[in-house]
């Protein structure tokens, strides 16, 4: 697997979904109680956890991150609350910054480390950094890109409100 390609495709998919949104789309509820702005902020919060993890392997200081909480409802809702008062532009800028950081740090990780199982015990002893990128970044982004697409479907009447 080439983690750099995986990261590039994830960003391209999500960025296209963001760019397809019109101003009114950002106000539609698309995932539980979340609007597209909340979804983008959530993806950024999870990317920040990946930045912290990759920094360790890239030889850079890592900010403390509660890696085990990435799937925790309280974590997700608290991160949505942090960004609730932010303008859409700030939320999108944060996404751009975090994905850029993930891709930059990924380039500093050596090839053998990417495949070594057990390097991220907080994610699961049986997983490697490649797995982290495939599941936490690529899979997560693909999942939430569909939520952004739902905002467009609601606008165009492709699905009922």
φ/ψ region of 116 (left if φ > 0, alpha if ψ in -120 to 50, else beta) reads: beta
Tokens matching residue 40: 């983008």
Q: Assess contact for 42 and 80: CB atoms under 8 A.
A: yes
Do the Cβ atoms of 127 and 10 come closer than 8 Å? no
Q: Does residue 34 fall inside a structural domain? A: yes
Is there a domain that residue 161 lies in? Answer: no
Query: What was the pLDDT predicted at 161?
Result: 52
In a domain, 61, yes or no: yes
pLDDT tens-place string over residues 24-53: 999 999 999 999 999 999 999 999 999 999
> Based on the structure, what is the number of domains in the chain?
1
pLDDT of residue 69: 53
Report pLDDT for 65: 61
Q: What angle do CA 24, 29, 32 make, to 5 degrees?
A: 165
Residue ranges for the chain with pLDDT beneath 70: 64-71, 160-161
- CATH number for the domain spanning 99: value is 1.20.120.450
Residue 63 sits in which domain range? 3-156
For residues 21 and 36, is the Cβ–Cβ distance under 8 A? yes
CA distance 67 to 46: 9
């Amino acid at each position: 697997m080439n983690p750099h390609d995986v990261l590039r495709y994830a960003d391209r998919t999500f960025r296209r979904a963001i760019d397809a949104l019109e101003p009114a789309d950002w106000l539609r509820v698309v995932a539980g109680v979340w609007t597209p702005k909340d979804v983008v902020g959530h993806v950024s919060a999870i990317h920040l956890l990946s930045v912290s993890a990759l920094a360790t392997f890239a030889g850079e200081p890592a900010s403390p991150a509660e890696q085990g909480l990435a799937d925790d409802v309280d974590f997700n809702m608290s991160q949505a609350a942090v960004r609730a008062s932010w303008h859409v532009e700030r939320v999108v800028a944060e996404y751009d910054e975090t994905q850029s950081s993930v891709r930059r740090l990924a380039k500093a990780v050596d090839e053998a480390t990417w495949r070594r199982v057990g390097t991220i015990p907080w994610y699961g002893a049986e997983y490697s950094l490649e797995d982290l990128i495939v599941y936490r970044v690529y899979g997560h982004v693909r999942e939430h890109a569909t939520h952004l697409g739902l905002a467009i479907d609601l606008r165009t009447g492709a699905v009922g409100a």
